[in-house]
Amino acid sequence: MTVEATRTAADRDARITTEDEQAVPPGRGMRFTNWAANYVDERTSMSGFVREFGRKIFPNHWSFMLGEVALYSFIVILLSGTFLTFFFQASMTEVTYEGSYAPLKGLDMSAAYASTLDISFDIRGGLLMRQIHHWAALLFVASIGLHMLRVFFTGAFRKPREINWLIGFVLFVLAMGEGFTGYSLPDDLLSGNGLRIIDGMVKGFPIVGTWMSNLLFGGEFPGTSVVGMFYSLHILLLPAVLVAALGIHLVLMVVNKHTQFAGPGRTNDNVVGVPILPVFAAKAGGFFFIIFGVLALIAATVTINPIWAYGPYDPSPVSAGTQPDWYIGFADGALRLVPPGWEFELFGFTLSLNILAPVLVIVVFLVLVAFYPFIEGWITGDQREHHMAQRPRNAPRRTAIGAAGVTFYAVMWAAASSDLIATHFKLAIEGVTHAIQLLLILGPIIAFVLAHRICIGLQKKDREIVLHGYESARIVRLPGGEYIEVHEPLSEYERWKLIDFDDYQPLMLRPNDRGRIPVMQRVRAGLSRWFFEDRISPVTNTELEAAKHGGHH
């Protein structure tokens, strides 16, 4: 039995003291604890802080732990990364490799690559740490992605959490930046090819492109400075910004309180769950070690980024199957999907639409993701605070938009592995590319329509179950010979989960104080109608009563 503490807004600042504590005289251990706590508090006034954070309530749901997964993999990244900095040399000075990997012995390479090889082959535990670091990085971005999807599909970004969504998005972008700079550091063939693509993309910008590339690489690609510069970004600037943003993200999470799913006793004004201290902290500490353990197990058994196989960077060879790490895959895929011939010459300048178009698509997509809470808030005109997480089916349009976005991203992501899809499924690569190009346009539309239909269908099913109970699979023959299936009514607890959700109406068009209806208002009303015109309202009390007393069937 877990003790669930209920905390309402009213007793937010109430002192947490209990009668029991004063009745029993404290033991020696307790006296020391009290003294120490008092000592610290008198000098730092920490008790208010501890009270606020220690009493933060976490509702119990698996999907609320995904952000934690990201946090803990970030800690694993920090720890393993610190180990790697002891041995990595961020320099592109040429050295001759004399380490223990035979197929590279005697070869000239950069100090960065040579030191990465040493970490992999000649430093005790180095390879394990490198693999933990890389696997944790992949898991970090993956768990951020899943966490974002959870927040999106449950509407947990609505007021008052829009700003925290934006900060979370910044964290996501920073994580990708960290990942890409880290991927480039070993200066192996694969990472060099990745940098070459970035170089090409930068050069694709009209007029400034060439200069920007020169700035980035300190002259002509690959230059001799990019590894050192990326190293500073990777271990200093990006992590510092990331930790700061992470801090704000967590503080805002405490300030905004946690969302929860509908259930008996749960309202928009309370949070039902366990407090951080002591239950949740203990659980979370254990969870951290589980994540660390899973990562260590994977790193010990599954090879990641075998840089020794790729060889030192040399601009001439490009290997088949060269891909970025998964989180940059969607950008690589967007580049691969551009049809041939999108390059034009205008007044002696080359206009590389084959680069600018996918970059624009990616930027627009990311901006839409970042500002979605504000866009939806504007469309719905909803000024209420929301602390109840929605079930995705209860916001059909948003769920459909999300499904379309996920499909769009996934199609671009799949495009990054078009060559592997072709070889592994024995298809022609042209066929694969054309199919994916088509899917990029059709996929989101199909996903949108399907998700919307499915949501409405599920809502109808919920309504049916609330009003008429679920089918019990018990067939009864009536005296008259008629067969009926008995419908069992839901329990109060179960019913609550199905009927407690927000009802929205399309915005009404009203003239402003000058008696006019501005164009933006019309657009807004149109979007709002599109958002909410197909909807299933929650079951009302009257309907429920009517169903109870009305005829069964």
Partner 1 sequence: MAPHRKNRTGRRSPVVSAMLLLVGLLATGGSYALFTASASAETTAHVDNLIDEGQKLFQANCASCHGLAAQGTDAGPNLHGVGAAAVDFQVATGRMPMAASGPQAEEKPPQFTEEQVAALAAYVASLAPGPGIPDESLLTGNGDVTNGAELFRINCAMCHNVAGAGGALTEGKFAPDLKGVEPAHIYEAMVTGPQNMPVFNDLNLTPEDKADIISYLMFIDDKSNSPGIIDLGGLGPVSEGLFVWIFALGSIVGITVWLTAKSN
What amino acid occupies position 305? N
Residues 6+ apart with CB under 8 A from 312: 104, 107, 108, 109, 110, 113, 187, 188, 189
Among residues 477, 530, 542, the alpha carbon closest in space to that of 504 is found at: 530
**For residue 288, what are its two tokens?**
């951290």
Among 84, 127, 404, 436, binds partner 1 (CB under 8 A): 127
Among 265, 431, 518, 550, binds partner 1 (CB under 8 A): 431
Pick 29 or 106: Cβ nearer partner 1: 106
Among 79, 420, 450, 547, binds partner 1 (CB under 8 A): 420
User: Of the ranges 75-83, 139-147, 334-342, 491-499, which one interacts with partner 1 (CB under 8 A)?
Assistant: 139-147
Asked if residue 256 binds partner 1 (CB under 8 A), the reply is: no
User: Of the ranges 82-90, 244-252, 315-323, 477-485, which one interacts with partner 1 (CB under 8 A)?
Assistant: 315-323
**For residue 113, what are its two tokens?**
């690559």
User: Of the ranges 141-149, 208-216, 335-343, 502-510, which one interacts with partner 1 (CB under 8 A)?
Assistant: 141-149
Residue ranges in 270-299 that form contacts with partner 1 under rule CB under 8 A: 283, 287, 290-291, 294-295, 298
- Alpha-carbon distances, residue 395 vs 300, 366, 504 (angstroms): 43, 22, 9
Asked if residue 468 binds partner 1 (CB under 8 A), the reply is: no
- Alpha-carbon distances, residue 292 vs 65, 144, 148, 489, 536 (angstroms): 15, 17, 22, 45, 44
Residue ranges in 81-120 that form contacts with partner 1 under rule CB under 8 A: 102-107
- Alpha-carbon distances, residue 129 vs 2, 142, 234, 297, 384 (angstroms): 37, 20, 17, 12, 48
Q: Which residues are 484's β-sheet partners?
A: 476
DSSP 398-409: HHHHHHHHHHHH
Number of residues in contact with partner 1, rule: CB under 8 A? 70
Distance CA 484, CA 37 (A): 68
Asked if residue 66 binds partner 1 (CB under 8 A), the reply is: yes
Among 65, 77, 114, 525, binds partner 1 (CB under 8 A): 65
Asked if residue 131 binds partner 1 (CB under 8 A), the reply is: yes
Asked if residue 532 binds partner 1 (CB under 8 A), the reply is: no
Asked if residue 416 binds partner 1 (CB under 8 A), the reply is: yes
Among 22, 303, 491, 541, binds partner 1 (CB under 8 A): 303
Asked if residue 27 binds partner 1 (CB under 8 A), the reply is: no
Among 255, 427, 438, 445, binds partner 1 (CB under 8 A): 427
Beta strands of 361-445 (E only): which ranges?
A: 388-389
Asked if residue 410 binds partner 1 (CB under 8 A), the reply is: no
Among residues 367, 394, 406, 370, the alpha carbon closest in space to that of 155 is found at: 394
Residue environment code for 256-274, b if the CB has 16+ CB neighbours within 10 A, otherwise e: bbbbbbbbeebeeebbbbb
Residue 325: CB minimum distance to partner 1, A:
5
Among 5, 422, 435, 547, binds partner 1 (CB under 8 A): 422
DSSP state of 101: -
Residue numbers at the binding site for partner 1 (CB under 8 A): 1-2, 60-66, 69, 102-107, 127, 131, 135, 138-139, 142-143, 146, 189-190, 283, 287, 290-291, 294-295, 298, 300-306, 308-311, 314, 316-326, 329, 416-420, 422-423, 426-431
